[in-house]
Amino acid sequence: MAYRSLRSLAFAVDAERVHRLAMLGLSAWSRFCDVDLDADDVARDPALARTVFGLTFPNPLGLAAGFDKDAECVPAWQALGFGFVEVGTVTRHPQPGNDKPRLFRLPADRALLNRLGFNNHGAEACARRLTSWRQRGRVKVPIGVNLGKSKATEAKDAPADYAFSFNACADVADYVVVNVSSPNTPGLRDLQQTAALAGIVDALLELNAQRTRRVPLLVKVAPDLADDDALAAAHLCVERGIDGLIVSNTTIARTGLTGPIPEGPGGISGAPLFERSTALLKLLHDDVGQRIAFVGVGGVFDAGSAQAKLKAGASLIQSYTGFVYGGPGFARDVVKGLVSG
Ligand SMILES: Cc1cc2nc3c(=O)[nH]c(=O)nc-3n(C[C@H](O)[C@H](O)[C@H](O)COP(=O)(O)O)c2cc1C
């Protein structure tokens, strides 16, 4: 109720400015308050704990990539009840992202439109921040690091660009994600085609094989892939030995939206994405689910939508837009519903 009033105030202000303000508050909280969860906190209910790609998750709901790109607020996400956190997308080269305005709310559709374009401080800065959280004993849930291609890097050099970021982050990441599915970096989604994807995946798997601790490696796909192309990408990942698929990123489709749509390009997240991302998750899981783990993301707003992702084959779920609309109590509400449901 309190968040509803705050939300109507916040929604009157430019979306990216509110995001920045929220991040300032959450990073101050993260730095100064070492909040640990009680053993009887619903976010630590043993009934929800699970082991996926060799990692133990206290509950299956994670914060999706993009909210905390530079790993500024890791302790706050744990304290809010998330069972894991995916930071990033980070790129080899720090970059400012696209011109503003580039983040919009679509309240009539419980959605967001963004064309941020991987604004981030770079993979090395992210690694330094995670090192610092870890050295201070502040990391209590698995942390994924999501990697993207720098805008300045040509597609043919993508494997080396991802490899640089992988080397920078692998020591401090519990798992690493190859993001080839954001719609806001020109040409990025073409890297989902099997030949291009193989080049990136093989480069990272080779580096991973040389490490003493092998890091689980995941690939995040777009909901706009044709089913056959998504299946081809999934088969490639399975054959090469990728540990998991994240389904899905935002969509460039504008179908199903009922309210006003901001002009210009960008990816839609939230409720309108639920159906396609869940259908794609089920399609891929039905095909290769015995051999690879799935993370379901897209339109998770409550325990019902989270449960639907689990039923479609996800071992873990993530949310971004649901948290924006649901507020600080979001993760615990979802988790509570999963325990009782
Ligand atoms: C503002 C915004 C920024 C995002 N940035 C990233 C990103 O940097 N990397 C990424 O892999 N996904 C990014 N995403 C996609 C989310 O991680 C997620 O896949 C997508 O929003 C669907 O989940 P949702 O419906 O719960 O928001 C972003 C989403 C939003 C709304």
Gyration radius from the chain CA atoms: 18
* Substitution site in 90, 249, 274, 316 for ligand 1 pocket (most atoms within 8 Å of beta carbon): 249
- Name the closest-CA residue to atom 15, ligand 1: 249
Q: From the CA of 54, how far away is ligand 1's center (Å)?
A: 25
At residue 1, the pLDDT reads: 62
Q: Which two tokens stand for residue 330?
A: 């979001």
Please state, in angstroms and rounded to a whole number, the distance separating the CA atoms of residues 35 and 266.
Answer: 36
3-class secondary-structure state, position 206? helix
At residue 341, the pLDDT reads: 77
Which strands make up the sheet holding 267-270, listed edge to edge? 103-106, 111-114, 267-270
Please state, in angstroms and rounded to a whole number, the distance separating the CA atoms of residues 261 and 263.
Answer: 6
Q: How many helices (H) and strands (E) does the chain have?
A: 11, 13
Q: From the CA of 114, how far away is ligand 1's center (Å)?
A: 8
Measured in degrees and rounded to the nearest 5, phi and psi for residue 34 equal -90, 80
Residues lining ligand 1, judged by CB closer than 6 Å?
64-66, 69, 89, 103, 112, 114, 116, 118, 146, 179, 182, 220, 249-250, 269-270, 273, 297-300, 319-322
At residue 3, the pLDDT reads: 82
- Name the closest-CA residue to atom 13, ligand 1: 66
Active site residue 165: no
Q: Which atom of ligand 1 is nearest to the CA of 297?
A: 23
Please state, in angstroms and rounded to a whole number, the distance separating the CA atoms of residues 199 and 108.
Answer: 41
Say which of 30, 165, 181, 182 is annotated catalytic.
182
Which residue reads 């839609």 in tokens?
A: 268
Pick the closest to residue 178 from 120, 119, 218 (CA basis): 218
At residue 10, the pLDDT reads: 80
At residue 340, the pLDDT reads: 86
Q: Which residues of the chain have pLDDT under 50?
A: none
Domain with residue 177: its CATH number is 3.20.20.70
- What amino acid is encoded at 109 in this protein? D
Q: From the CA of 321, how far away is ligand 1's center (Å)?
A: 8
Q: Which two tokens stand for residue 150?
A: 């720098």
**Interval 238-248: pLDDT, tens:** 999 999 999 99
Q: Where are the beta strands (DSSP E) in 125-179?
A: 143-147, 175-179
| Residue 110, domain extent | 2-340
Q: How many domains does the chain have?
A: 1
Residues 76 and 26: beta-carbon distance below 8 Å: yes
At residue 9, the pLDDT reads: 80
At residue 191, the pLDDT reads: 86
